[in-house]
Chains A and B, each alone.
Chain A
Amino acid sequence: MSSDPATPAAKATEERLDEIRKAAAESAPRGGRPSPAPQIRGRESYYGLPVLKAPVWTWEVPLYFFIGGIAGMSACLALVAQLFGNEAALVRSALWVALLGAAICPVFLIADLGRPERFLAMLRVAKIQSPMSVGVWILVSFSGCTFVALLANELIARGYTDILIVGVNWAGECTAALTGLILAAYTGVLLGATANPVWSHNRRALPAHFLAAALGGAAGVLELLGFLIPPTQLIGVVAAVIETLLGVHFELSRLPVNAPLHRGKSATAFRIAGVMAGPGALILRLVSDAPPVRRAAAVCFLAGSLLSRYAWIWAGRASAMDPEALFQMQRKS
C-alpha cells in the first residue's frame, strides 16, 4: 500500500522525498535494480544501443572469400610448379582449380548484392581507395588470366608447342599468379579497412590470416585431388603452423575490441576453426604422412579455414553491436 506514513508530520521537502525514494528502493523485488528506469550516466552510450551498423552480408560472402583464396593460391602453385618443372598434371589441375574457383566466385558475390541485376555497376568505376572496387577488378582480371593460361596449357598438352602459345602460357600463368595472390590477400584488407572495430583493429593480421588459409587450402585441395607430394605436405605444415601462431596471437590480445573473438557465438566458431586449421591439421601431418592421414589433414584444414571466414563475419556483427568497445578503442587513440 502506497499511503503508509513513515513519519506522519513529515513534509515534502527534497530530503523527505529522498527518504521516500530510499524506502521504496528497499521494498524493491529480490534482485531487482532499485531504479529500473533507463538513465544515461557518465560516459555511457545512448541506452547501450549500437553506434555502428552491422555488416549486411549473408552466407555467400565468407564462402566467396574461401573459394577466392584457394583459387588465387592454386594459380601461384601452378606457376611455381611449372617453374621448377614439376609434372604437367599438377600444373594443369592447379590451373583448373583456379579457373573453376574464378568462375564460382562471381556467383556468390552477385548473389549477395541487394540488386544483383546491377552487378555491372561495379565496372563503371575503378577506385584504388575502395578495396571492394580493387577486389572486383582483380577478380575479373584473375579470371581472364587463368583462362588464357589454362587454354594455352591445354593446347600445349595437345602438342601445339608453338613458341607463341608457350609465351602466352607463361604470361598467363605469371599474371594469374600475381592477381591470384592479391585476390587471396585483398579480402583481408576489405574487412580491415572498415569502421568495424574488431576488423579494423586486426587489419594487419587479417591479410596474413586469409593468405595462410588460402595457401593451406590450395595445397589441401590438390592433395585431395591425389597430389600427395612433398611440396603440398610442406605447404600444409607451414600453413598450419601460421594458423597456430595467429590463433595464439588472437587468444592473447585480450583488448575489449577483440571481445567477439573471446566471447559468444563468433568466439566459439573462431576457436573451433583455429584449432582445426592450426594444431589439428598440424598434428595430423606430423604424426604420419600416410595418404589417408594427409587427406584427413587437408579436410581438417579446409573446414577450419572455411569456418574461420564465417567467424570473422560474425565477429564483425558482434563488434558493431558493442558501443563501449568502440569508445574505448577511440579514446586510447
Chain B
Amino acid sequence: MTVSAFLTDATLCIGCKACEVACKEWNEVPADGMTWTGLSYDNTQSLGASTWRHVMFLEQPAAAGPQLAETTDPFRWVFLSDVCKHCGKAGCLEACPTGAIMRTHVGSVLVQKDVCNGCGYCVVTCPFGVIDRRPDDGRAFKCTFCYDRQKSGLIPACAKACPTQSIQFGELAELQERAQMRVHELRERGYHDARLYDPQETSVQGVHAFFVILGEPENYNFPPAPEAPTAYLKSAWTSAVICAAIAFGIICVAFAF
C-alpha cells in the first residue's frame, strides 16, 4: 500500500487560487460567504467545512526575509495553499464517536458523509483547525484527499489544477525526501529563511501534507508544536479516576457519621 502525500511549496505559488476553485468544482463544495476582508487578496480567511483548500496571502515587511534571492523590494508577498494535514495520528479520527472518520488505503483521513451525525467533537480535536461543521447541513466536512479520484487513478483536483507545480502530489517517503532537497536548494539560492513545515516529533506523528515555507510557521497559522489530543487522555483520565474515588470517599465519610 502506497501512502499518498502533498508537498505544497510557497516559493512556487503564484496565488492564482486555481486549487481552491478546482476543489470546489470537483467536490461540489458550496459557497463560503461573500465577505471582503481587506486582508490582502485573501477573502477566504481559513479552511473550513466549505473551504478545503485555502490560499494565504502574507504581506510582510522586508525584515521578514527575502522573497527573492536578491530582492530590493521593501516588503514581500508570499502565497501558500493550505489544506488538511491528513495527520499520522489524527485528532479528528481518534475522537470521532461514530467511526465516520476513517483512514483510507492511501493513508488519508476521510469523513464518511453517510455516517457523520454532526456531534462536532472532531471540530475541537483537530490541532490544525481544519475540519468544521457546516451549519446548514449539520455534518462535518474537510478535504477528502480526492479519495474518489485517487481510487480511479486520478490525482487530486487541486494538484491537477495547479499551473506551477506548487502543489505536488505523490508517495509520502518520496515527497518527504524531495521536500528536504528543495529546502536545501532554496537556502543555497539565498532564501535563508526557507524551511519545511512537517511536525514529525509531536504526537501528531507526522503529516501527509507538508509545506515548504518562508519564515515562521506561525505566520501561516501553523501551530509550532501541534499535539494530537489523544496525548492528553492519560493525564485527564488519571485525574478523573482519582477525583472520582475521592468523591466517593467523601460520600462514604458523610454518611458514616
A and B pair up: yes
Question: Which residues of A (164-193) have their CB < 8 Å from a CB of B?
Answer: 177, 181-182, 184-186, 188-190, 192-193
Question: Which residues of A (201-248) have their CB < 8 Å from a CB of B?
Answer: 203-208, 211-212, 214-215, 230-232, 234-235, 238
Is the interface on chain A under 10, 10 to 19, 20 to 34, or 35 or more residues? 35 or more
| Complex: A205 Cα to B240 Cα, angstroms | 9
Question: Pick the contact of A133 from B97, B140, B222, B233 — CB < 8 Å?
Answer: B97
Are A125's CB and B244's CB within 8 A?
no
Question: Which residues of A (116-140) have their CB < 8 Å from a CB of B?
Answer: 116, 118-119, 121-122, 124-125, 127, 129-133, 136
Task: Give the interface SS of chain B, mostly helix, strand, loop or mixed.
Answer: mixed
CB distance from B118 to the nearest CB of A (A): 2
B72-99 vs A: 1/0 string, CB under 8 Å? Answer: 0001000000000000000100111111
Are A129's CB and B219's CB within 8 A?
no
Task: Give the interface SS of chain A, mostly helix, strand, loop or mixed.
Answer: helix
**A-B residue pair count with CB separations less than 8 angstroms:** 264
Q: Which of B130, B138, B250, B255 has the most CB of A within 10 A?
A: B255
For residue A196, which residue of chain B has the nearest CB? Answer: B124
Are A185's CB and B240's CB within 8 A?
yes
Inter-chain contacts of B247 with A (CB < 8 A): 73, 76, 181, 184-185, 211-212, 214-215
Question: Pick the contact of A51 from B39, B60, B132, B223 — CB < 8 Å?
Answer: B223
Question: Pick the contact of A215 from B97, B221, B223, B250 — CB < 8 Å?
Answer: B250
Question: Pick the contact of B244 from A121, A182, A235 — CB < 8 Å?
Answer: A182
Are A195's CB and B139's CB within 8 A?
no
Are B223's CB and A330's CB within 8 A?
yes
B59 within 8 A of A: yes
Inter-chain contacts of B218 with A (CB < 8 A): 43-45, 323, 327
Known: A132-B119, A195-B127, A231-B254. 13 other contacts (CB 8 A): A38-B38, A53-B132, A54-B123, A56-B123, A56-B133, A57-B120, A115-B117, A118-B117, A121-B115, A124-B99, A131-B95, A182-B244, A195-B125
